[in-house]
Structure 1
Amino acid sequence: MSRPDTPSTLADWQAMAAGLTLETRAFVDDTFVDAVSAETFTTINPATGETLAEVASCDVADADLAVGHARAAFDGGAWSRLAPGKRKRVLLRLADLMEANKHELALLDTLDMGKTVSSSLGDMAGAIACFRYQAECIDKLYGEVAPTGEEALALVLREPMGVVASIVPWNFPLMMTAWKVAPALAAGNSVILKPSEKSPLSALRLAQLAREAGLPRGVFQVLPGFGHTVGQALALSMGVDCLAFTGSTGVGKQLMQYAGQSNLKRLYLECGGKSPNIVFADCKNLDKVAKHAAAAIFHNQGEVCIAGSRLLVENPVREAFIDKVVAAAERMQPGDPLDPGSFMGAIVDEAQYRRILGYIQMGREEGARLRVGGEALPGPGLFIPPTVFDGVTPEMAIGREEIFGPVLSVFGFDSEEEAVAMANDSVYGLAAGLWSQDIDRIMRVTRRLHSGQVFVNNWAGGDQTMPFGGVKQSGNGRDKSHHSLEEYSELKAVWMSLAT
């Protein structure tokens, strides 16, 4: 069977998958190598249960080697002291290579973690756009000249930090990698990437493309492995200057401790969420809003940090609106991730699959009303359909805890004050949404929501110009936009005396 250049059907994607050659070794100092221990771990296709590959399982020794090479590369200056315009050209070349290989990169993420190939292609567009945006920012961010008298010249300079370790999640493997790696590289740092053990394959392919693009030796390295081994080693390393992480709040708290136990490394965290999506009765088109509300939680199987998992609906329209959401959910069933027509794919692994089913059972036991879904689909593969619970109250676990799966909890409210109080009644603050035609209400509620980002009459809108991140236990720091580039640089104040 021939391998299509531009796959567009299930058969095309299956043929492309059959012809893949997978890189499974770590990428250290510009070379693909086995882990020092020679240990490996198995990565599995969750849609079929079949083994994809045995991947190098890195640990402390690998981290030590990579940090040493990253520091030598940084101190050598081939990248850190390269003119911004020249760094830009390399990163734009890498973005072009990603564009040329976007179907392969998308396929790797789909096979590795179960998301639909259509979603993966969308991720690739976002990842490529991120590299291009950050590359174009490099030579457009100026330093400062502070106001002084004639006796002095005061400069504020931006300089790269040094060695940056990026620990990225499995739900948007290459897109989250781009959000962390692109600004860190653009700023002139050496970067060590630790992909999730559940989705390492696209990161290793990216390493091949980075080498082809011309990134100097040791500037970009990839260490596949587990969080409690190589991830912990990077977090505790005295040679890592900055740690960027996307993942659970619990792990984020551990990483903060490791930063304090080691060298007080800079730490940027994008953690969990339980995002409220507020629908007021004055919305003009409830059918359209219901489709968006369903997509906000069921896209990517609900394995989304900003998933609109708490739906707050004004009571006069609640019953009718839930019927519309249920109807939309019934059209969003999981299917073969390689089928471009599938809306949802497979759950990433057995542990996450069991966790989601456990919460669904908990919802039943807590007394919430199951409106649709609730049962796993028969195998092979790990598939859970869209599940909607109505009558959820704030004390229920399904309404408070991050499930990270296709489970929607619906609440009713009677007033704007009640909606805001319910929305803010969470340890998380990553995202929030509100739907209304009343501009005064929109402005009031937007300002009162405790969230790093607010989507008004949409869900998950934005592009590379907008910062992404949370407040409270959803973390700190920001991905995307020029703000992320600033985070991966240090400010240096220079005071020059001009007095004779």
Structure 2
Amino acid sequence: MSDFKLTYSTMFNPPAELHQQFERAMAVLKHDLGRDYGLFIDGKNVVSLNKIEKRSPIDQYWLLGRFHMAGESEVDAAMAAACKAFAGWRATAWQVRVERLRKVARLIEDRVYRIAAAVSLETGKNRMEALGEVQETAVFFDHYCDLMEQNQGFDQVLPNDPLDDFTSTNRSVLKPYGAWVVIAPYNFPFALAGGPSAAALVAGNTVVLKGASETPWAGRLLAECIHDAGIPDGVFNYLNGSGSVVGQALVDHPQTAGITFTGSYDVGMHIARAQLDKPYPKPCIAEMGGKNAVIVSRHADLDRAALGIIRSAFGMQGQKCSALSRIYVEKQVAERLIALLTEKIHAIKIGDPAVESNWMGPVVTRKAYENFATYSTQLQQQGARLITGGEQLKSEPYVAGFYCTPTLAEAPLSHPLWTVEMFLPIVMLARVDSLDQAMQLTNASQYGLTAGFYGNDEETGWFFDNVEAGVTYANRPQGATTGAWPGYQPFGGWKGSGNTGKAIASFYYLPQYLREQSQTRVE
């Protein structure tokens, strides 16, 4: 990536070389579509009885590949492989694990353009979002290796017992659990598979990854990077399959030692409860939904606010758990903010996201496309009005894809969609009488993932003191509620957005994949 350091904050002004490299990789990849991809179990490509055709949301005529689907027998095989490999991987010195996993990071970086092209084709992300996701995954591997080194493998010498007749030494050692399951979502199929896998692996666990059936390619590409870096067979295994069959089988499996899940609140809570309802409780890290709000003060820089709102509401077509979906603006400046937002929305170019000039691509799934039409109709009812957007794009060149217009709606506070995580390029706006009212509305949600604010210095301090969210931003043009990057902004939610209170890529994340053993030795 040359001397340019790609993050979600710097992605808006990349060097020309980056675009050229991406376009070359995309051209090569498009000539190699339609292949068969197996599962990855115990170091081997595994074919199954069932497979699905994966087509691009950009154009349903593009066959990306045929992907084999796991069933319960493949779940058992993957868990058996992970359990068998655990003893050797756990016994591998943490320094060696770090060395090997850094090789994974370098391989991801070497393949960043090809993998990003695949992610763009599979999810409909624009090139910068796709490149950002893949590069972020490499950073996750490095970051968790850094944490392992900084904490010296989480092996801490404690004071000796105060005895006169004996020397009694004490240590605290964090040890891995075993075969760890990672269940990844479709919106960040590479990063939210790779990040938790990296943490589990560097801690000494083995991994069984289940990718989302809507986006099976990314997990397979991650498996290839891990295998090619020399990670021993069975340490990492990849399954593709539905949540109801493969996901549930992994949740119920007696050899599952712990689970990291990213997805909806309902599924996350189901998994967390299931882990507690076993013969003894097993760890679950559940990163769940968001209904993220921004508060705009009458003292705000409205041009900056409008830019940050657009980027967070419509980046990746609103299909981020951190996407902005609620705007609370003081009524004195509401009309001016609406005018600025409308102008910027009308300037957004929609189309094939692999094309440099197009910022918005399609939504990922047909279900999301259909939900968009339903919600757009509801946003013209019960006192709500569409300010702009609300259309599915069905003419050429959009007819074969899942394209929707970026949508801004104003709605009374009683409207039911204020509480629904739509996961679409839809943002709702309400005028408020005061910042206190805006804060009350922001915090009333069952979710508490991200939140944003635009106002003066005094108001900003008040915002940070009072908002109930795990990731908070103030006066940020790069994104009102989005843009966390490992090493800069830990990412995790409060309340119904996360069950641990520990953020991804924070100082406190990695120990969740380990359990503490106190060791006392009398000499």
Question: Structure 1 length normalisation: TM-score?
Answer: 0.93
Choose the corresponding residue for 1:463, options 463, 471, 485.
485
Q: CA 1:349–1:155 in structure 2 vs 1: closer, same or farther (change >3 Å)? A: same
1:328 alignment partner in structure 2:
344
Q: Which runs of 5+ in 1 are unaligned?
A: none
Choose the corresponding residue for 2:59, options 48, 66, 71.
48
Choose the corresponding residue for 2:85, options 63, 68, 73.
73
Bigger shift: residues 420-429 or 16-25: 16-25
Bigger shift: residues 124-133 or 17-26: 17-26
1:384 alignment partner in structure 2:
404
Q: Post-superposition shift, 1:350?
A: 0.9
Matched, 1:116 2:126: yes
| Distance in 1 of aligned mates of 2:54 and 2:381 | 34
Q: Which runs of 4+ in 1 moved over 6 A?
A: none
2:29 alignment partner in structure 1:
17
2:3 alignment partner in structure 1:
none
1:275 alignment partner in structure 2:
292
CA RMSD, Structure 1 to Structure 2 (Å): 1.8
Q: Which runs of 5+ in 2 are unaligned?
A: 1-16
Whether the 8 Å CA contact 1:70–1:192 is kept in 2: the answer is: yes
2:439 alignment partner in structure 1:
420
1:266 alignment partner in structure 2:
283
Whether the 8 Å CA contact 1:282–1:438 is kept in 2: the answer is: no
Whether the 8 Å CA contact 2:484–2:491 is kept in 1: the answer is: no
| Distance in 2 of aligned mates of 1:464 and 1:23 | 33
Q: Post-superposition shift, 1:247?
A: 0.4
The 3-state SS of whatever aligns with 1:344 is coil
| Distance in 2 of aligned mates of 1:26 and 1:497 | 49
Matched, 1:93 2:93: no
Q: Post-superposition shift, 1:332?
A: 2.0
Matched, 1:140 2:150: yes
| Distance in 1 of aligned mates of 2:325 and 2:314 | 9
Aligned residues: 487
Question: Structure 2 length normalisation: TM-score?
Answer: 0.89
Whether the 8 Å CA contact 1:393–1:399 is kept in 2: the answer is: no
Whether the 8 Å CA contact 1:43–1:54 is kept in 2: the answer is: yes
**Aligned counterparts, 1:286-301, within 5 A:** 286-301=302-317
Q: CA 1:173–1:244 in structure 2 vs 1: closer, same or farther (change >3 Å)? A: same
2:14 alignment partner in structure 1:
none
Matched, 1:156 2:166: no
The 3-state SS of whatever aligns with 2:509 is helix
Matched, 1:397 2:422: no
Q: Post-superposition shift, 1:480?
A: 1.4
- AA partner of residue 230 (structure 1): V
Matched, 1:216 2:238: no
Bigger shift: residues 474-483 or 90-99: 474-483
Choose the corresponding residue for 2:425, options 406, 430, 443.
406
2:465 alignment partner in structure 1:
447
Q: Post-superposition shift, 1:253?
A: 2.0
| Distance in 2 of aligned mates of 1:413 and 1:229 | 46
| Distance in 1 of aligned mates of 2:400 and 2:36 | 26
**Aligned counterparts, 1:425-436, within 5 A:** 425-436=444-455
Q: Post-superposition shift, 1:249?
A: 0.7
Bigger shift: residues 452-461 or 429-438: 452-461
Choose the corresponding residue for 1:304, options 310, 316, 320.
320
Q: Post-superposition shift, 1:316?
A: 0.8
The 3-state SS of whatever aligns with 1:281 is coil
User: Percent of aligned positions with the same letter in both sequences?
Assistant: 28
| Distance in 2 of aligned mates of 1:185 and 1:416 | 45
Q: String of CA shifts for 1:213-261, please: whole Å, max 9, x gaps.
A: 0101100000011100111111111101110000011111221233244
| Distance in 2 of aligned mates of 1:34 and 1:206 | 18
